[in-house]
């Protein structure tokens, strides 16, 4: 069975082609101004999308759990047909997937989800803040994807185990590990754009004499280019005889770029997982899976919009839309390995 939470419009629509003025998100009635609703995002377009583009079969097979003695909350669905009918009928603005649960809604297992929180990087990015993201700070998320993808996975971990793993990834606060890939890009990050910003970096250097030398050099006004200052910083630190001082560069990179997780979301099994291929109500863009092997080539603002997909659908079938690549990736890289693993587990038991 599949446990699914559908977020439907708060205000019933008199006509299918009428724009939505209000919607319910996460259980709260929220009035949305017309400027807050993405262009081309409305109930009529969603009905077409769910009817002609949404991969109901792949979606159900990927998140359907065949387990005995399970009680499911919200929207317990037993078949693809039942799920498809429910989605088309309710035309949800948002779809979340819950964990399998036993009777009395006791969560039995759940996807092992570690969620990097872009707002936690606000102290090291100067282009955006909060939930906003741009092409300059998005690389912080690609680094998080690469690091987390190489970590442990599992569905049967208890909350305490999940919390321990999530806490393991909070080492950026300690700054005591080594990052091989120097992923810090000073010109983009503008790390030396002000005295306050480069002082934050210098505070990570333990050697007082080196620190004073760098402060003197950087405040002299002779070199103002970020790339030059970064190279100067590396040269000065790497010339030190003390091993710990030579590793300061790696520790600086590590502290600025290592994954920063939403701890509360990452450590509990009952966290709702955003469904792939739903349309995000705030951006009007499709929620597509990201290929961790090629995440450097992904940028969230290039994800297809609802109106774009429907325009493409007018000219071709789903294989001719911008969603085709994402659906095929979902099948080959997630669904097929998952079904194969489930068959192996069934044989083992």
SS3 label, residue 78: coil
18-32, 156-170, 224-238, 247-261: least confident range: 18-32
Helix (H, G, I), strand (E, B) or coil at 94: strand
Closest CA to 173 of 100, 120, 113: 120
* Ranges in the chain annotated CATH 3.90.920.10: 2-110+269-348
CB 141 within 8 A of CB 133: yes
Does pLDDT of 35 surpass 60?
Answer: no
- Which pLDDT value is given to residue 216? 61
What is the pLDDT of the chain when averaged over all its residues?
Answer: 71
Closest C-alpha to 178, from 246, 265, 264:
246
Could you tell me which CATH class the domain 2-110+269-348 is placed in?
A: alpha beta
Residue-by-residue DSSP string for 329-346: HIIIIIIHHHHHHHHHHH
Q: Are 39 and 317 in contact (CB under 8 A)?
A: no
> pLDDT value at position 200?
78
Highest average pLDDT, of 21-35, 64-78, 168-182, 235-249, comes from 235-249
| pLDDT surpassing 50 at residue 24 | no
Q: Which residues pair with 96 in a beta bridge?
A: 5, 274
Quick check: 118 and 265 in contact, CB under 8 A?
no
Question: Count of CB atoms within 10 A of residue 55's CB?
Answer: 18
Q: What is the 3-state secondary structure (H, E, C) of 242-280?
A: CHHHHCHHHHHHHHHHCCCECHHHHCCCCCCEECCCCEC
Instruction: Give the per-residue pLDDT at 87.
Output: 86
Q: What is the pLDDT of residue 310?
A: 93
pLDDT confidence of residue 241: 60
Q: How far apart are CA 280 and CA 286, in angstroms?
A: 6
User: CA–CA separation, 328 vs 332, rounded Å?
Assistant: 6
Once rounded to an integer, what is the mean pLDDT over residues 309-320?
Answer: 88
- For 104, the token pair is 């009395």
Percent of the chain with pLDDT over 90: 15
Report the percentage of the chain scoring pLDDT > 70: 58
User: Is the separation of the CB atoms in 238 and 246 below 8 Å?
Assistant: yes
CB contact set of 42 (below 8 Å; sequence gap of 6+): 17, 18, 19, 20
**What is the Cα–Cα distance from 248 to 77, expressed in whole angstroms?**
53
Q: Is 76 exposed, middle or buried (0-12, 13-18, 19+ CB in 10 A)?
A: middle
The pLDDT of 126-140, averaged and rounded, is 89
């Amino acid at each position: 069975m599949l446990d699914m939470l559908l977020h439907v419009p708060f205000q019933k629509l008199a006509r299918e082609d009428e724009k939505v003025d209000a919607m319910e998100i996460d259980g709260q009635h929220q009035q949305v101004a017309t400027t807050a609703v993405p262009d081309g995002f409305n109930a009529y377009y969603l009905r077409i999308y769910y009817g002609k583009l949404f991969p109901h079969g792949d979606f159900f097979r990927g998140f359907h759990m065949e387990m005995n003695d399970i009680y499911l909350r919200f929207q317990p669905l037993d078949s693809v047909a039942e799920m498809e009918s429910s989605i088309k009928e309710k035309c949800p603005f948002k779809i979340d997937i819950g964990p399998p649960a036993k009777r009395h809604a006791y969560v039995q297992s759940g996807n092992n989800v570690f969620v990097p929180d872009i707002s936690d990087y606000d102290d090291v990015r100067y282009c955006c803040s909060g939930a906003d993201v741009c092409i300059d700070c998005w690389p912080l998320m690609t680094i998080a994807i690469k690091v987390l993808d190489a970590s442990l996975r599992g569905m049967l971990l208890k909350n305490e185990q999940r919390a321990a793993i999530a806490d393991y990834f909070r080492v950026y606060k300690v700054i005591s590990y080594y990052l091989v890939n120097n992923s810090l890009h000073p010109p983009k990050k503008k790390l030396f754009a002000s005295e306050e910003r480069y002082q934050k970096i210098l505070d990570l250097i333990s050697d007082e004499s080196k620190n004073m030398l760098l402060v003197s050099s950087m405040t002299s006004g002779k070199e103002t280019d970020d790339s030059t200052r970064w190279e100067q910083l590396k040269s000065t630190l790497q010339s030190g005889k003390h091993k710990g001082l030579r590793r300061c560069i790696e520790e600086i990179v590590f502290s600025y770029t290592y994954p920063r997780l939403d701890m509360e979301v990452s450590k509990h099994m009952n966290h709702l997982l955003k469904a792939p291929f739903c349309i995000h109500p705030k951006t009007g863009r499709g929620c597509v899976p990201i290929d961790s092997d090629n995440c450097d080539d992904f940028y969230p603002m290039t994800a297809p919009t609802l109106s774009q997909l429907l325009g493409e659908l007018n000219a071709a079938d789903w294989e001719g839309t911008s969603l085709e690549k994402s659906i095929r990736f979902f099948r080959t890289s997630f669904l097929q390995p998952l079904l194969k693993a489930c068959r192996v587990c069934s044989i083992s038991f």
